[in-house]
Amino acid sequence: MDVFVARQPIFRANKKLFAYELLFRTGMSNAFPGIDGGTATSSLLSSSFFTVGIERISSGKLVFINFTEELLLRGIPTLFPHNQVVVEILEDVKPTNEVIAACQALHQKGYILALDDFIFHENLQPLIEIAKIIKIDFRLTPLAEISKMLLQLKDAPCEFLAEKIETHEEFMEAKALGFSYFQGYFFAKPEILRNKDISSSQLTIMQLICEVNRAECDIKKLEALINQDVSISYKLINYLNSAYYSRLQPVSSIRQAIAYLGERGIRMFISLIAASRLVDNKPDELLRASAIRARFLEQIAIELDIDSGELFMLGLFSMLDAMLDNSMEYIVGQLPLSGQMSEALVKRGGTLSPFLRLAENFEAGNWSDLDSQIAIMKISSAKLQDFYLNAVKLADLF
C-alpha cells in the first residue's frame, strides 16, 4: 500500500512552531477496493509510525492526526504515544455515549484532544469539557459567528486554533479575537506588498545562490565564493562536523567540505545556508518549508534526469516574496534567472511550473491533483514519499 504523508505547521501567536498536522492520503476506500476507510487509515497510521517512523515526519514536534468515529471506538489512538499525538476528533463524529466514553478514556490516559472544524452545539458539551484545543475554520465560518462561539466557550477549559489562515491580515484578526494557535500558509505570504528596495546584502546573498547553482560554475570558483563569506564557511564546517554526519576525522577546510559533499551537495548546502540569512524576523518554518520544497524538487529532477540545480533553486526561491515582503515580480527582476525560471516564479507558467504545483499539492495534501500529476510525469508514488521524507530530514539541519 503506497503511503502519502505530508505535514502542515501549526504556530503559536508569536509565530513559533507548536506542532504539525499530518495529512494522509484520503479516499482510501476508493483507492483500495474492499478496504473500508477506517481500516485503511489504521494501516496508514501503522505504516507511518512503525515503518516510516514518526520522528522522521514530526521533527520532534507534536502531531495532530484525524481519527474517525470507528477508530476512536476501536481505541486506535492508544497505539501511539500520548506525548507525541494530538487526537483530532472529526466534525462528523457524533457525540454518542460510546464516543464520549472513548474520548474520556483517552483524556484520562493523558492524550490531548482537539475538536476539528468546530461548530457549537449543546450536545458537544461533554467533549468540550475534555478537549484541550478547539479548531475553527477561519475561511468557512463568518467572523460574527466565530465571535459568538468564542463567547459561548469563554468558560471552557480549552484554547482555540484558527484553521485556514492564509494571509497576514487573517492571522492578525484571529490573534485579536483571542486564538492561541494558527494553521495555514500565512507564514509563506508577504506581510506587506510594497516596492521597497532590496538591501545590497540581500541581493548579494541571492546572487550567490544563483552563482553556485550555475551549470558552468566550477569547483575552484565555488571554493573561492565560499571562502569570501566567513559566516557561510563557519556554518558549513559546523554542519559537516555535527553528529548527523558521524565523521571520524573533522572537516577543517572548504576544500575538504567540497570533496566530502561533492559538487551537487555543496551547491545545495551553500544555497540553504545563504537563504537562512534572508529570513530574519520571520518564522523558522519559512526557511524549513523552502528547504523541503527545494530538496523535494531536486530529487524529482534527478529521477527524471533533468537539471536538478534548476529545480532546487525553483523550490528555494518560490517563497522569496514572503522572505523579503515584496512582490515576486520585483525580486525576480533583480536576479540573473533564466526566462523559464522567471516565468514559473512570477506567472506560474512555462515548463517549470508543473513541478512547483506538484510540490504545493503534496504539501497541502491535495492527493487527487497529485495523482494526476505523477501519472503524467511517470514518477513512482512510493519514491515521491521517500523524496519528501528525505527533504524533511535535510531541512531539520537548518
The answer to which of 67-71, 125-129, 170-174, 210-214 has the lowest mean pLDDT is 210-214
Average pLDDT over residues 350-360: 96
Interval 27-46: pLDDT, tens: 444 344 344 555 655 665 66
Average pLDDT over the chain, rounded to whole? 86
The answer to which of 34-38, 152-156, 187-191 has the lowest mean pLDDT is 34-38
Average pLDDT over residues 157-166: 95
Residue 204 binned pLDDT confidence (cut-offs 50, 70, 90) = confident
pTM: 0.87
Q: In this predicted structure, what is the pLDDT of residue 236? A: 81
Task: Choose between 359 and 50: higher pLDDT.
Answer: 359
Q: In this predicted structure, what is the pLDDT of residue 33? A: 39
Interval 164-186: pLDDT, tens: 999 999 999 999 999 999 999 99
Residue 148 reports pLDDT greater than 90:
yes
Residue 48 reports pLDDT greater than 60:
no
Q: What domains are defined for the chain? A: 5-187 (3.20.20.450), 200-395 (1.10.3210.10)
Average pLDDT over residues 202-219: 81
The answer to which of 128-132, 171-175, 263-267, 355-359 has the lowest mean pLDDT is 263-267
Grid coordinates representing 185? 500558509
Q: In this predicted structure, what is the pLDDT of residue 248? A: 65
> How large a percentage of the chain has pLDDT more than 90?
53
> How large a percentage of the chain has pLDDT more than 70?
89
How far, in Å, CA of 94 to CA of 269, rounded? 50
Interval 265-300: pLDDT, tens: 888 888 888 888 888 788 999 999 999 999 999 999
pLDDT winner (highest mean) among 50-64, 108-122, 211-225, 274-288: 108-122
Average pLDDT over residues 213-232: 77
Is there a contact between 31 and 25 (Cβ–Cβ < 8 Å)? Answer: yes
